[in-house]
Amino acid sequence: MTGATPGPDTVRRRRAYRGGRTAERLAAAFLRLKGYRILARHYQAGGGEIDIVARRGDTVAFVEVKIRPSLDEALLAITPAKRRRMAQAARAWLTANPWAMAVNRRGDAVCLAPWRPPRHLTAVIELDLP
């Protein structure tokens, strides 16, 4: 049967996916305004994913973007499992970009909530990088 209406779970997942992509675009624009150069977005490798890889000066930041009803909830949504997957992807990115071994590397977060300015938290995600 064609034209079937998707179930509520499918609709919810699609809405969350679109919302996440919008949040990533907003976070990337916010970081650019702060002087960062975006090196990669939605980087997937090594069984993990990094929303944004950005550089400013001698620092490369692996950035997780979270949008939730409040900024505190957004930060709390970065689970230990997510941190491990981020670290795996960051190691893969560093293998593909060996020049970055000579600069500072850190795990950042950009937290977004409706009607609130974005919050960029530096070095809040332990990535255990070489």
pLDDT in tens, 49-86: 999 999 999 999 999 999 999 989 988 999 999 999 99
Give domain status of residue 2, yes or no. Answer: no
Q: Range of 72's domain? A: 8-125
Residue 3 included in any domain: no
Residue 79 sits in a domain of what CATH number? 3.40.1350.10
Q: Please give the tally of structural domains in the chain.
A: 1
Contact 83, 92 (CB under 8 A): no
Has residue 1 been placed in a domain? no
Residues 6+ apart with CB under 8 A from 53: 38, 39, 40, 41, 43, 60, 61, 62, 63, 93
Q: Is residue 31 part of a domain?
A: yes
88 found inside a domain: yes
- pTM of the predicted structure, to 2 decimals: 0.87
Query: pLDDT by residue (tens digit) across 7-50?
Result: 677 766 776 666 667 889 999 999 999 999 999 999 999 788 99
pLDDT of residue 71: 87
Q: Is residue 100 part of a domain?
A: yes
Q: Which two tokens stand for residue 48?
A: 């993990």
